[in-house]
Amino acid sequence: MNICVIGTGYVGLVTGVIFADLGNDVTCVDKIKEKIDSLNKGIMPIYEPGLEEMVKRNVVDNRLFFSTDLHGAVEKAEIIFICVGTPPKDNGETDLSYVEGAAKGIAKSINGYKIVVNKSTVPVGTGDFVRKVIEKNKIHNTDFDVVSNPEFLREGSAIADALSPDRIIIGAPTKQVAVKLLELYATIGRPMLITDVYSAEIIKYASNAFLAMKISFINAIADICELAGANVTDVAKGVGYDSRIGQAFLNAGLGFGGSCFPKDIQSLVHTAEKFGYNFKLLKSILDINKERVPHFVEIIKDKIGELKGKIIGVLGLSFKPDTDDMRDAKSVEIINILLNEGAVIKAYDPVAMENAKKILPAVKYCANAYEVSEGADAIVVITEWREFKLLNMERIKNLMRKPAIFDGRNIYDAERTRKMGFEYYSIGRP
**Which of residues 84, 116, 235, 260 is near ligand UGA by CB under 6 A?**
260
**Region at 342 (left for phi over 0; alpha for psi -120 to 50; beta for the rest):** left
Is there binding between residue 153 and ligand UGA (CB under 6 A)?
Answer: yes
Q: Which is nearer to ligand UGA, 83 or 307 (CB)?
A: 83
Q: Is 408 in the site for ligand UGA (CB under 6 A)?
A: no
Q: Which residues are catalytic?
A: 260
CA distance 232 to 235: 5
Which sign does the torsion angle of CA 270, 276, 281, 283 carry? positive
388 binds ligand UGA (CB under 6 A): no
Helix (H, G, I), strand (E, B) or coil at 348: strand
- From the CB of 233, what's the least distance to ligand UGA, in Å? 11
Q: What angle do CA 416, 418, 422 make, to 5 degrees?
A: 125
What is the spatial order of strands in the sheet that 423-425 belongs to?
364-365, 344-348, 311-315, 378-381, 404-407, 423-425
Residue nearer to ligand UGA on the CB measure, 255 or 428? 255
Q: What's the CA gap between 23 and 184, in Å, rounded?
A: 10
Give the largest CA-CA distance in the chain.
75
Residue type, 349: D
d(C-alpha 127, C-alpha 80), whole Å? 13
Among 18, 51, 225, 250, binds ligand UGA (CB under 6 A): 250
Total residues interacting with ligand UGA, rule: CB under 6 A: 22
295 binds ligand UGA (CB under 6 A): no
Cα 301–259–343 angle (5° rounding)? 20
Identify the residue among 35, 310, 320, 327 touching ligand UGA (CB under 6 A): 320
The neighbour count for residue 345, using CB atoms within 10 Å, is 23
Query: Rounded to the nearest whole angstrom, what is the least distance from the CB of residue 59 to ligand UGA in the complex?
Result: 25
Q: Distance (Å, rounded) from C-alpha 331 to C-alpha 383?
A: 8
Residue number with CB closer to ligand UGA (211 or 359): 211
Q: Does 369 bind ligand UGA (CB under 6 A)?
A: no
Query: In the beta sheet, which residues pair with residue 348?
Result: 315
Site string for ligand UGA, 40-69 (x = CB under 6 A): ------------------------------
Among 261, 388, 412, 425, binds ligand UGA (CB under 6 A): 261
- Residues numbered 161 to 220 that lie near ligand UGA (CB under 6 A) are 208, 211, 215
List the one residue from 25, 101, 125, 152 that touches ligand UGA (CB under 6 A): 152
Name residues whose C-beta falls within 8 Å of residue 49's C-beta, 6 or more positions apart in sequence.
156, 157, 159, 322
CB of 191 to ligand UGA, least distance (A): 15
Q: Which of 251, 266, 318, 426 forms a contact with ligand UGA (CB under 6 A)?
A: 251
Per-residue interface string for the shown chain with ligand UGA, residues 88-127, x marking contact by CB under 6 A: ---------------------------------x------
Nearer to ligand UGA, 171 or 257 (CB): 257
Site membership for ligand UGA, residue 15 (CB under 6 A): no
Q: Does 405 bind ligand UGA (CB under 6 A)?
A: no
Count the helix, strand and coil residues of the chain and give each as a percent rounded to the nearest 5: 45, 15, 40
Nearest alpha carbon to residue 384 among 353, 346, 412, 365:
412
- One residue of 16, 171, 258, 408 binding ligand UGA per CB under 6 A: 258
- Contact footprint for ligand UGA (CB under 6 A): 121, 151-155, 208, 211, 215, 249-251, 253, 255-258, 260-261, 264, 319-320
